[in-house]
A and B are shown apart, each in its own frame.
Chain A
Amino acid sequence: MTERQHFEISDLDSGISLGKDAWIRLRKNRLAVGGLVILVFFFVIALLTPWIAPYDYEIQDLDLGATGPSLKHWLGTDIFGRDLLTQIMYGGRISLSVGFLATIVALVIGVTWGSIAGYIGGRTDAVMMRLVDILYALPFMIFIILLMVVFGRNMLLLFLAIGAVEWLTMARIMRGQVQTLRQQEFVEAAVAMGLSRSMILIRHIVPNAVGPIIVYTTLTIPGVMLLEAFLSFLGLGIQPPKTSWGLLIAYGAETMEEYPWLLLFPGFFLATTLFSLNFLGDGLRDALDVRSAKD
């Protein structure tokens, strides 16, 4: 007993960083690790797609048409005779990049905005949050259509537009978190030690709010992916022959009785990604929650 206790104390002495600590706890969560592995795998595939895709995503074989899975086309072909696996790989590139980039945009703006408003409070808070309310009230479709009309159709713009719409909820959540954290003793201690406001925000408040942020982020990514599919379907996002998972599913759903694989396979990949994200988010929340860290 005493030996073991001793070991633990010396372990603490040598010091484990917050990140490493979280990593150790994350590793114990098998579902989260599984999710992470799948996501990393999808990312690697997406990165390597131009080199490893079995076919060219644009090449059609009209005579072949829609065929089910076979040795030549593992996941079958669509009505234009295009290889579905290739379509899914290229679609994944777009879906994953839209999902993550737009979410990062939303995350950066939302967290910054919300924590500043929440920490400073008073009139600044009121003005900043009313702005959020006003943006909330704008019908976002019109907002995005306007952006598309003014700047033309552009993938990067699509990311930004979606991100610029999605940050609002993030800002509200962050503000609420910061308002409760601000009252806590450790913040008062930091103030007493004479730390600057920005230092307090970055070092003390944001890390403590990481749990809700991560959870909401994992909810945002699937939302963004669906939003992209919706916009593309309306002709505002991705246009053929480029594709995304959302679009593949939308088209697949139209012919699900005749060619079910056109819906099932893209649906499977989207669902797997979303599940992985959720499990990973769950695990990360547990791992990163500093308040429960030393329980």
Chain B
Amino acid sequence: MLTLQKIPRSIFALLFILLASCSVQEGNVDSGNRLGILHYGNGSEPQGLDPHVVTGVPENHLVRALFEGLAVKNPYTLEPEPGVAERWEFSDDKRIVNFFINPRARWSNGDPVQASDYVWSWRRALHPEMGNPYSYMLFPVKNAEAFAKGQISDFGKVGVKALDERTLEVTLNEPTPYFIQLMDHYSTFAVHPPTIMKFGASTDRYTKWTREENIVGNGPFVLTEWKLNRRIVVEKSSTYWDRNKVSLNGVVFYPTENSVTEERMFRVGQLHYTASVPLDKIPIYREMENTPYVQAPYLGTYYYLLNINKKPLDDIRVRKALSLSIDRDKLASTVLQGTAVPAYSITPPNTLGYDPPKLFGYDPEKAKQLMTEAGFPNGKNWPGIEIIYNTSESHRKIAVAIQQMWASTLNIQVTLSNQEWKVYLDSVDQMDFDIARRGWIGDYVDPNNFLDLFISSGGNNSTGYADGIYDDLVLRKATKASSRELRYQIFHRAETMLMQAMPIIPIYTYTSKHLINPSVKGLPSNLMDSLNLKYVWLDNLKKEER
């Protein structure tokens, strides 16, 4: 008996020692608050750091820390404000913009940022050999599209000119209301020409210039360490023109692919900010007092790409049947824990006053009928298809739920396959899939950003959808529209066409979900979940106050 009583006591003693030693050790958050270093969960390991090569949200955060566009978004209002350009002027017909480059703008090696750097960089961004998936961001510029498609080889004909060292003149095809917003997108960023040329031809992808010892940027931070799959460290730049406004001394980006691990890291004080929150944890965080959980509407759509060149998805009836048999309301309220809005089209609702068409809903009877017409009555003769998704807990859950919805409504076999992010991006680029999970986050607040995904030459189309009328509506008719209402009417027509052809299955509209440590300030929620590190600062609260 005596020994039995002693055991728990010694365990308590042990626990106490363990707990005591825990509190003594300083976590990343505490040391970060002291040193002014933000520990940032960035979702996944970036594909690269070359602004003209990458796509994706994790890359966006990194590239915009290391580089700066002509104009940047204010995180509170999302209005463009001066970046590398101190101001810009539109001509009277709104077809010519002059950017006046800030004389204090510097590359991180000390060179001044010049207008000619932009001409050189935009040639690189648009060059067909570069294969930049976002080259279309510059298509509003005169002749840019023709150059990107190889129809003209003389870059001199493209509407961008350096009038002098500090003045960049851009000629547009049409008045483009959102053009200044595009200047905060990384594919329009300037890169440092001598650095690129040192490590290969101007249009080589994945050269060594993005290594930490080589890279030259013009953003508020410089790269100091890149440990693959471990962390990326950036430090406040000493050459950045607006450095007095930067209050962080550095940021450490973590490739937190597993949101469960990420949440644990947050809980033990290793992260200030998480890229996501595990769905199952949301109800618990919602109920907490002073919760670090922050949810906000987000300009993004979660959808499945259908490869319409492959059987059986080449049949429009099959595509419609698949889409009609997904019960999005149930998915949103159960698996997604009420953190998402069901989507029936690609553009998120109320995108700067634009609302997309809703052509269909959950209709299992119609879906069965369509499958019968397509030659698969009750799943007979079904060849079997595969859904690919990048490895993530929430993508798996959605796929498992949809797999079962299709199985129970249409009696068809669908297999799932998860892939690592880079492998997944490759599969999508090469259209090596039947169905692929996809999310699209708006690069600027305008329906055009969602609708021009599916133009026949779009680098992110990835479905095989190509329709001349659609291209014409989105690329030409809409840009010529004289008023916003007319422009939105044209978009509405295009989007109706798109959803009638159903090359994608829209599933839900995103909300942004993060855990944010209370010491992080200047990081407001906005529709674009846009991070402007220049505004972020850390309030070094005492433990008692927290």
Q: Measuring CB to CB, which residues of chain A are less than 8 angstroms from any residue of chain B?
A: 58-60, 62-63, 65-66, 79-80, 153, 235, 239-241, 254-255, 257-259
The answer, yes or no, to whether B418 is at the interface (CB within 8 Å) is yes
When the two chains form their complex, are residues B399 and A240 in contact, meaning their CB atoms are under 8 A apart?
Answer: yes
Q: Which 8 A-B pairs have the closest CB atoms?
A: A235-B418, A62-B334, A254-B260, A255-B280, A60-B404, A240-B400, A258-B280, A239-B416
- Cβ B416 vs Cβ A254 within 8 A: no
Residues of A within 8 A of B391 (CB): 235
- B contact patch SS: helix
Residues of B within 8 A of A60 (CB): 401, 404, 408
User: Provided the pairs A254-B278, A254-B393, A259-B280 are in contact, do residues A62 and B400 lie with their beta carbons within 8 angstroms?
Assistant: no
**Do B407 and A63 have beta carbons less than 8 Å apart?**
no
CB within 8 A of B334: which of A63, A240, A241, A255? A63
The one of A65, A66, A241, A255 that contacts B403, using a Cβ cutoff of 8 Å:
A241
Q: Which residues of A contact B284 (CB under 8 A)?
A: 257-258
Q: Is the CB of A241 within 8 A of B404?
A: yes
Q: Is residue B331 contacting chain A, with contact meaning CB distance below 8 A?
A: yes
The total of interchain contacts (Cβ-Cβ below 8 angstroms) comes to 56
Q: Tell me how far the C-beta of B269 lies from the nearest C-beta in chain A, rounded to whole angstroms.
A: 17
Does B316 sit within 8 A of A, measured CB to CB?
no
Q: How far is the CB of A168 from chain B (nearest CB, A)?
A: 27
Smallest CB-CB separation from A62: which chain B residue?
B334
B278-318 contacts to A (CB < 8 Å): 278, 280-281, 283-284
B208 close to chain A: CB less than 8 A: no
Contact call B280/A240, Cβ cutoff below 8 A: no
Contacts of B404 in A (CB 8 A): 58-60, 80, 241
Bound-state Cα–Cα, A62 to B402, Å: 11
Which B residues are CB-close (under 8 A) to A235? 391, 417-419
Contact B397 A79, beta carbon cutoff 8 Å: yes
**B330/A241 in contact, CB under 8 A:** no
A residues in contact with B281, CB < 8 Å: 257-258
CA distance A254 to B260 in the complex (A): 6
Distance in angstroms between the alpha carbons of A60 and B401 in the assembled complex: 8
Q: Is B350's beta carbon under 8 Å from chain A?
A: no
Partner of A80, one of B280, B401, B415: B401
Q: Nearest chain-B residue to A66 (Cβ)?
A: B280
Q: Assess A59 versus B415: contact at CB under 8 Å? Given A254-B393, A258-B280.
A: no
Interface residues of B in 368-403 (CB under 8 A from A): 391, 393, 396-397, 399-401, 403
Contact between chains at A239 and B417 (CB < 8 Å): yes
> Chain B, 333-361, contact with A by CB distance < 8 Å: what is the 0/1 string?
01100000000000000000000000000
C-alpha gap A7/B417 in the complex (Å): 67
Which of A58, A60, A255 counts the most B-chain CB atoms under 10 A from its CB? A60
> Within the complex, what minimum Cβ distance (angstroms) separates B238 from chain A?
43
CB-CB contacts below 8 Å: B402-440 with A? 403-404, 407-408, 415-419
Q: With a CB–CB cut-off of 8 A, which chain A residues contact B407?
A: 58
B393 cross-chain contacts in A, Cβ below 8 A: 254
B408 touches A239 (CB 8 A): no
A residues in contact with B330, CB < 8 Å? 62-63
Is there an interface contact between A240 and B416, defined as CB atoms closer than 8 Å?
A: yes
Contacts of A79 in B (CB 8 A): 280, 335, 397
21 contacts between A and B (CB under 8 A): A59-B408, A62-B401, A63-B330, A63-B334, A65-B334, A66-B280, A79-B280, A80-B401, A153-B417, A235-B417, A239-B415, A240-B396, A240-B399, A240-B403, A241-B404, A254-B260, A254-B393, A257-B281, A258-B280, A258-B283, A258-B284
Residues of A near B403 (CB, < 8 A) are 240-241
Distance, CA A254 to CA B263, complexed state (A): 11
Distance between A76 CB and nearest chain B CB, rounded to angstroms: 14
**A63 contacts which chain B residues (CB < 8 A)?**
330, 334
Chain B 222-266 near chain A by CB (<8 Å), digits 1 or 0: 000000000000000000000000000000000000001000000
Which chain A residues border B335 with CB–CB below 8 Å? 62, 79-80
New A-B pairs, 5, CB < 8 Å, besides A62-B331, A153-B417, A254-B393: A62-B327, A241-B400, A254-B278, A258-B280, A259-B280
Q: Which residues of A are found within 8 Å of B415, using beta-carbon distances?
A: 153, 239
Q: Give complex CA distance A241, B405 in Å.
A: 12
Chain B's closest residue to A255 (CB) is B280
Interface centre among B391, B399, B404, B415 (most CB of A within 10 A): B404
Q: How far is the CA of A65 from the CA of B408 in the complex (A)?
A: 17
Question: Chain A residue with minimal CB distance to B259?
Answer: A254
Q: Chain A contacts of B327 at CB under 8 A?
A: 62
Residues of chain A within 8 A of B418, CB atoms compared? 235
Q: How far is the CA of A80 from the CA of B408 in the complex (A)?
A: 14
User: Complex: how many Å from CA A276 to CA B418?
Assistant: 34
Of B260, B283, B419, the most chain A CB neighbours within 10 A belong to: B260
CA A60 – CA B416 in complex, angstroms? 17
Give Cα A58–Cα B416 distance, bound, in whole angstroms: 14
Complexed CA–CA distance, A66 and B281 (Å): 13
**Shortest beta-carbon distance from B294 to chain A in Å:** 20
Q: How far, in whole Å, are A62 and B329 apart by their CA atoms in the complex?
A: 11
Residues of B within 8 A of A62 (CB): 327, 330-331, 334-335, 401
Query: How far apart are the CA atoms of A165 and B169 in the complex, in Å?
Result: 64
Q: Which residues of A contact B280 (CB under 8 A)?
A: 66, 79, 254-255, 258-259
B217–chain A nearest beta-carbon distance, Å = 35
Residues of A within 8 A of B260 (CB): 254
Q: Which residues of A contact B417 (CB under 8 A)?
A: 153, 235, 239
